Amino acid sequence: MNQVIEAAGLTKWYGKRRGILDLDFDVQPGEVFGFLGPNGAGKTTTIRLLLGFLRPSGGHASVLGLDCWRQASQAHAGIAYAGSDPGYLGELTAGAQLDYLARLRGLAPGAWRTVAERLALDPDVPVKKLSRGNRQKVGVVQAFMGREPLLVMDEPTSGLDPLMQREFLALVAEARADGRTVFLSSHNLPEVERACDRVGIIRDGRLVEVSTVAGLLASHWRSVSLVLEVPPPVGMFDLPNVRVATSSARDVHLMVQGDVNPLLRRLATIEVRDVSITTLEMEDVFLRLYDGSTPEPDGEPAGDAGPAPDRGPAPERGSGVDRDAGAAEAGR
Amino acid sequence: MSAAFRLELRRGRMLVLWMGLVTVLYAGGITLFYPTILKNAAEFEKLLQVYPKELMAAFGIEGSLGDQGTFFNSYVFQFLWPLVAAIAAILLATRVAADADRGFLDLPLATPLPRLRYLAASIAGQAIAIAAISAVMIGSILAVDLVIEPNLETGRLILSGVHALAFGLAIAGVTTFLAVVFLDRGRAGGLMAGILIVMYLLNVIAQLSPDLATLARLSAFHYFNVKPLIDAGTYPLGDSLLYLGFGVVGWLLALAAFRRRDLTA
């Protein structure tokens, strides 16, 4: 077994409805792999194929060297899974449900306690009565309570408060430090940026990008809003990866692609009253990369007060090739 | 005992408790009336002749209510048990669909627990829960029998409980298959309830005219008659095996379907 997860031509149709099409990717041992895409893109379908819940319509997927469909239960011995909306049994408290799942995974009852304490989960409340966020905690605790070599998580932080999201990221970092592999589906780009080594982007059922996080960051734009003490000198923002979207006296709205450090160095030379940097939503990145739209968090068109970014060629759809270098080029 | 099976037993406790309570109250209560009915059988017969034939058919009343067979067959086995068995079997057998509805199904099935063992644990839980309710029903009749005269046919009532169990298992088996096919508790339970209502009506209609008598063969209720067993000790082995056959085939089909079907989110 060289790869923890391998998918080759993986395809799923639900009757005539598209699930995913011809996915090729792999996840290396010890890697945190982010799987990004908007709702309906095929993230959950991919995860369910990897877990052997769905039978592929075409292609093949293996986890830990085992066929995802034919050897699902053997493969599950090495997988810890958390879904986007963890299910529950009305009859069970969080602790009882976690104990039940621990026993099924060959873990000792109470194996979940340490993680539950970190996430401030009350184990004595029936899962049915927990809030959405607390129910999500049950899912996260369940994923991290064992020592399985592969963690598969489908939007595990939806509903978690920022404090718990941070704790989740710490748990992911610890798992990576332990040499475990993480497959993390999300449409929370900042979360993926912080947690993942590589990302795959799926859209309309096709894998349109597999890249390192650095590569992805280089390919998308951030919005930087400045309030300056005095109007900026001419040429202040003349940087290769910076475009002035709007500028009126002391208020400046910039678009920055990739590395923000050159801009920050420039800003250190002038008096800045306020600054905000907004990471674009996943959908905006998709618009930028694939639809040719300019990412404008406030919805205003770019180019009124500055040159529109040169978008460059869109990545080839469905190629599924690793684009570490290509991602950095995309949009330039 | 596996964790999955233990959980199924735990999940079945409340259902068994409530259904057991209903059967104790009803079966035990109706048994308390039996001596009175027996003493006044002639008057009751005159009274029943006033009611329309259709009503008698609907309640499966044939013969004198003073006969143990007629009394218990009419008031317990053809009235209480079909309701209790149908409710319990449908609730128990659609659990796999309910687990899918609530997103719980993914959790055990993402562990090394194979699909077949998960469903097999559920099936075992169904069988045990229905057997427990059946035992409670017969036990409540026999318990009341300790304080009434005359003594009831204990052995025959226990065998009637076995036949009732087979009836319940048939519903459970077929419902399990429907639950696995639809993975939707509402659709599976609703369809099974609809099938049972249609069968019940067919059985009633078939008794209204000799021309319609063959319709009864399409009804599961037609084969659920313990009057000959209680009165004469003739166990309906063929009917019991027919029920068990439906139950077992339903479960086997459910297992086969569950093993191969997609589990969508």
Cα separation, A265 vs A256, whole angstroms: 13
Summarised one tens digit per residue, pLDDT across range A96-114 is: 999 999 999 999 999 999 9
| Full strand arrangement of the beta sheet holding A198-203 | A79-82, A150-154, A181-186, A32-36, A198-203, A206-212
Asked if B265 and A100 come within 8 Å (Cβ–Cβ), the reply is no
Cα separation, B227 vs B241, whole angstroms: 18
Can you tell me the mean pLDDT for A152-175?
Answer: 92
Asked if B108 and A104 come within 8 Å (Cβ–Cβ), the reply is yes
| Confidence category of residue B179, pLDDT binned at 50, 70, 90 | very high
Cα separation, A284 vs B196, whole angstroms: 54
pLDDT value, residue A326: 33
| For residue A178, pLDDT beyond 70 | yes
**Could you tell me which residues are beta bridge partners of residue A154?**
A185
| Structure token pair of residue A31 | 């890697």
- 3 state SS of A94: helix
Summarised one tens digit per residue, pLDDT across range B110-162 is: 999 999 999 999 999 999 999 999 999 999 999 998 888 767 889 999 999 99
| For residue A195, pLDDT beyond 80 | yes
Can you tell me the mean pLDDT for B219-236?
Answer: 93
| Residue B102 sits at the chain A interface (C-beta within 8 Å) | yes
If one counts every other C-beta atom within 10 angstroms of the C-beta of residue A177, the result is 9
Identify which has the larger pLDDT, B67 or B25: B25
- The residue of chain B with its CA nearest to that of A99 is B3
Task: Kindly list the residues from chain A whose CB atom is less than 8 angstroms away from the CB atom of residue B99.
Answer: 87, 89
| For residue B218, pLDDT beyond 70 | yes
| Residue B4 sits at the chain A interface (C-beta within 8 Å) | yes
Asked if A88 and B113 come within 8 Å (Cβ–Cβ), the reply is no
C-alpha atoms less than 13 angstroms from C-alpha of B100 in its C-beta half-sphere:
24
| Structure token pair of residue A147 | 């020592």
> In chain B, helix, strand, coil percent, each to 5?
80, 0, 20
Instruction: Identify the CA nearest to A50 among candidates A99, A105, A112, A3.
Output: A3
Measured in whole angstroms, the distance separating CA A75 from the mean position of its chain's CA atoms is 24
**Option in A48, A51, A73 nearest B113 (CB):** A73
Asked if A53 and B262 come within 8 Å (Cβ–Cβ), the reply is yes
| For residue A296, pLDDT beyond 80 | no
**Interface list for chain A against chain B, based on CB atoms closer than 8 Å:** 14, 44, 48, 51, 53-55, 72-74, 76-77, 79, 81, 83, 85-91, 97, 100-101, 103-106, 142, 152
Instruction: Identify the CA nearest to A182 among candidates A320, A75, A81.
Output: A81
| Residue B150 sits at the chain A interface (C-beta within 8 Å) | no
| For residue B212, pLDDT beyond 90 | no
**Could you tell me which residues are beta bridge partners of residue A248?**
A251
Instruction: Identify the CA nearest to A101 among candidates B169, B113, B26, B148.
Output: B113
| Residue B3 sits at the chain A interface (C-beta within 8 Å) | yes
Asked if B111 and A142 come within 8 Å (Cβ–Cβ), the reply is no
CB A131 within 8 A of CB B51: no
Task: Kindly list the residues from chain B whose CB atom is less than 8 angstroms away from the CB atom of residue A14.
Answer: 262, 264
| Residue B262 sits at the chain A interface (C-beta within 8 Å) | yes
| For residue B197, pLDDT beyond 50 | yes
Q: Spell out where A83-129 has E strands.
A: none
Prediction ipTM score? 0.87
**Could you tell me which residues are beta bridge partners of residue A60?**
A8
Can you tell me the mean pLDDT for B210-236?
Answer: 91
CA distances to B80, B161, B184, B187, B242 from B190, in Å: 20, 26, 10, 5, 23
Summarised one tens digit per residue, pLDDT across range A41-76 is: 899 999 999 999 999 999 999 999 999 999 999 999
**Owner of token pair 């539950």:** A116
- Selected residue of B5, B106, B109, B116 to mutate for chain A interface (largest A Cβ count, 10 A): B106
- 3 state SS of B9: helix
**Owner of token pair 């998580």:** A153
pLDDT value, residue B58: 64
